[in-house]
Amino acid sequence: MTSKPSADATTPEQRQAALDYHRWPQPGKLEVTATKRVATREDLSLAYSPGVGYACEAIAADPAQADLLTSRGNLVAVVTNGTAVLGLGDIGPLAGKPVMEGKSVLFKRFAGVDAFDIELDAKDPERLIDIVAAMEPTFGGINLEDIKAPECFVIEKTLAGRMGIPVFHDDQHGTAIVVGAAVSNALELVGKSFESIRMVVCGMGAAGVACVDMLVSLGLKPENILAVDRSGVIHTGRANLDPSKQAYARDTDKRSLADALHGADLFLGLSGPGTLSGDMLATMAADPIVLALANPYPEILPSEARAVRDDVILGTGRSDFPNQINNVLCFPYLFRGALDVGARHITTGMKIACVEALAALARQAPFQPGAPEFGRDSLIPNPLDPRLLLELPVAVAKAAMDDGVASRPVADMNVYRQCLASLSARLNAGLAEDGTV
């Protein structure tokens, strides 16, 4: 395993700048503002008593009115117990709060979705499930975040079954959606198909399992997948595998990552820095696709990879390298579409629709002059592309309607697209000089 490159190390000045950003001009990244004026006695009578009572009566008579008379239909909970925060591990819910605040800011900035960060001191899955399920009257959707595997699988599945609103573990499915789009476009560039390639995935935590499941949904054959964790290749002879890993155990004599990579077309890394060596990369098939997503130090640096293979297509999780696999390309817009049609669940069809819309948008002309055109160093859209808000929610909303989970189907998609365009204009016009919305 290679060491972390000193050129990528955070400087004391960068660390202090980040702390100052969070501290000034007031602590944190969020505040609560009112959407209605309360300046007169008449305003007060409408906002509170007696006007609020009429809204309560309307909701008691028809619960669906809650999404029309309160903020619930545009409100998402960003929930964590702090057991798997970024690459920092189990640092607890309080230390994870800056991440959850940041996620809430991105919901608002990119898709106009209001979000509250909810940090829970609840490591026991059953307790966490009970707490989150009890919050359904408050929220229109639940974004689970930074909850460790394998508990996260049970938590998401149980909540999705108990709650009548979308439940989405972004570490799993957000990553999987963006990976799916990147791999789809990379395969198109090199003239390969999902059905024909062989993949090695290194790291089978929450994101790894979800990414593999997504790629299988897109056509990758399970028998062409070798999964590797800290103990080596996941094979049928290994004992004590949890169900998520057992599903990808293969009858193979390969035991190491180096063994598995011989002739592979795709490497998907969700592990740690330096896991993929140049010697291993050299043994992969022609036009190898490498998604080295460990953060902040990828499994292999682009410079190291290109020193070995000039035909490699490489993506990382970092914004300072091409092909950043970034969940912000997904979760704001997925929830925007889901909330707008009152989706009761997030379906596989909605996730695949998001993959396809992302991949298609990347193949369009650049959103601004000078932006990279679709190619080996530009597999997926730029996170600042305003067309994301126009394309992805429409695709998600259509899929929700097709899958029968939309409680408020959109009658006219052209009108919906116009509404999204107006929202996009407001979000971008509302950016102050300091970047706030």
The residues carrying an active-site annotation are 48, 103
280 HSE (CA, 13 A, CB side): 20
* Spatial separation of the C-alpha atoms in residues 205 and 202, rounded to whole Å: 10
According to DSSP, the residues that pair with 375 across neighbouring strands are 378
Residue type (1 letter), 379: L
In contact, 269 and 203? CB cutoff 8 Å? yes
Nearest residue to 252 (alpha-carbon basis) of 224, 276, 284, 231: 224
Across the beta sheet with 167-169, what order do the strands follow?
114-119, 75-80, 141-144, 167-169
According to DSSP, the residues that pair with 229 across neighbouring strands are 232
Enclosing H/E stretch for 66 = helix 66-69
In contact, 275 and 299? CB cutoff 8 Å? yes
Q: At what angle do helices 331-340 and 170-190 cross, to 10 degrees?
A: 110
Q: How far is CA 289 from CA 55, 67, 268, 315, 323, in A?
A: 55, 44, 8, 8, 12
**What's the N-to-C CA distance of the chain in angstroms?**
43
Nearest residue to 198 (alpha-carbon basis) of 244, 267, 246: 267
* Spatial separation of the C-alpha atoms in residues 13 and 71, rounded to whole Å: 40
For the record, the structure tokens of 190 come out as 């090199």
